[in-house]
């Protein structure tokens, strides 16, 4: 029986992967999470069909114990905020680098077949070159971005030194249902949606003309499953995105249109460590993983906004 382990599996993307594995009738799904940002309710539909273990990837003995009899690891546990990493770089380093090393060591020692690692497009920095491709130089601008790049390099080393098949997925801006709008470090789409639903002003950092390549969470899940099974991709890195970009101003307008609510928009100074423009070249993932995003940004935004409205029970 194939056994899957999802670290950070009560979080936004991790829980989406766990639910998809159960939907596909996989029986051996183990989730570990320290519930610092992840939530049990994200796993509510599948709790009786998975094994949820509460623990921290910084705890080497805990990780080692959970890794027994595992074939594939989806490694998503992380400090996943640029702002938080700037405020507390040590905690980011401990979780994202030391924690990843614990996962890789346990995978090596337990003969895990493959580790799929959740990396980030943040490692590209603010290079004006577009679209971003996997061969271009990296320039991390935050402790978060640097920690993801260091973890990528560890993944590649473990493939070349120890034969652990690792695949790194550089996510661009993943969004969708279950994304936390209440966190201090909430991503832009749930933060905007929550404000609109509650009739509060939207705050845009900078002029709003900065662009992002957004990817709907179902497509990110699909990329993970493809990365877990594709042949000949050990040690490789892939961009995972939609291959399209929209501005933050367009994003705000579209969400207001979908929700049929208009709110004031205020602007503040750009945030430290954020890039101006982001667009992915996804041809490598298409060729070697068979990855093709199925849901475009506008449809994904519509689904996300309507899901949020149903959860908040605001409006009609």
Domain ranges for the chain: 3-174+215-240, 177-212+244-278+295-312
CA distance 166 to 233: 8
- What is the rounded distance in angstroms from the CA atom of residue 230 to the CA atom of residue 223? 10
Closest Cα to residue 251, out of 211, 218, 278?
Answer: 211
Q: With a cut of 80, say whether residue 136 has pLDDT above it.
A: yes
The per-residue pLDDT of the chain, averaged, comes to: 94
CA distances in angstroms from 277 to 121, 152, 254, listed in the order given:
11, 22, 19
Give pTM, 2 decimals: 0.94
The three-class DSSP label of residue 225 is: helix
- Band (pLDDT 50/70/90 cuts) for residue 2 is low
Q: Where are the alpha helices (DSSP H) in 130-247?
A: 143-162, 188-197, 217-229
Domain 177-212+244-278+295-312 in the same topology as domain 3-174+215-240:
no
Which CATH architecture fits 177-212+244-278+295-312?
Alpha-Beta Complex (3.90)
> How far is it, in rounded angstroms, from Cα 41 to Cα 24?
20
For the stretch 153-201, pLDDT in tens is 999 999 999 999 999 999 999 999 999 876 665 689 999 999 999 999 9
Confidence grade of residue 313 (pLDDT, cut at 50, 70, 90): low
- Tokens 């910084």, residue located: 58
| Percent of the chain residues topping a pLDDT of 70 | 96
Residue with the bigger pLDDT between 218 and 27: it is: 218
Per residue in 204-252, pLDDT tens?
Answer: 999 999 999 999 999 999 999 999 999 999 999 999 999 999 999 999 9
Topology classification of domain 3-174+215-240: Rossmann fold (3.40.50)
């Amino acid at each position: 029986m194939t056994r899957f382990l999802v670290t950070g599996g009560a979080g936004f993307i991790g829980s989406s992967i766990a639910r998809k594995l159960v939907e596909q009738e996989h029986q051996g799904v183990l989730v570990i999470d320290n519930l610092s940002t992840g939530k049990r309710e994200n796993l509510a539909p599948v709790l009786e069909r998975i094994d949820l273990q509460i623990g921290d990837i910084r705890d080497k003995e805990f990780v080692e114990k959970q890794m027994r009899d595992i074939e594939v690891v989806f490694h998503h546990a992380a400090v996943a905020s640029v702002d938080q990493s700037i405020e507390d770089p040590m905690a980011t380093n401990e979780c994202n680098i030391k924690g990843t090393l614990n996962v890789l060591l346990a995978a090596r020692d337990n003969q895990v077949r493959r580790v799929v690692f959740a990396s980030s497009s943040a490692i590209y920095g603010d290079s004006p070159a577009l679209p971003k491709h996997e061969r271009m130089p990296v320039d991390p601008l935050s402790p978060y971005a640097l920690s993801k790049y260091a973890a990528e390099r560890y993944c590649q080393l473990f493939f070349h030194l120890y034969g652990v098949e690792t695949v790194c997925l550089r996510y661009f801006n993943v969004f969708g249902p279950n994304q936390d709008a209440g966190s201090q470090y909430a991503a832009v789409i749930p933060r905007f949606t929550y404000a609109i639903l509650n009739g509060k002003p939207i705050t845009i950092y900078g002029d709003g003309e900065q662009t992002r390549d957004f990817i709907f969470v179902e497509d990110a899940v699909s990329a993970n499953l493809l990365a877990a099974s594709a042949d000949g991709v050990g040690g490789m890195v892939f961009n995972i995105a939609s291959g399209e970009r929209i501005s933050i101003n367009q994003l705000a307008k579209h969400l207001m249109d979908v929700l049929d609510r208009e709110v004031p928009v205020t602007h503040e100074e750009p945030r430290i460590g954020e890039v101006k423009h982001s667009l992915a070249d996804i041809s490598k993932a298409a060729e070697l993983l068979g990855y093709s995003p199925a849901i475009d940004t506008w449809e994904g935004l519509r689904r996300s906004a309507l899901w949020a409205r149903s959860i908040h029970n605001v409006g009609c």
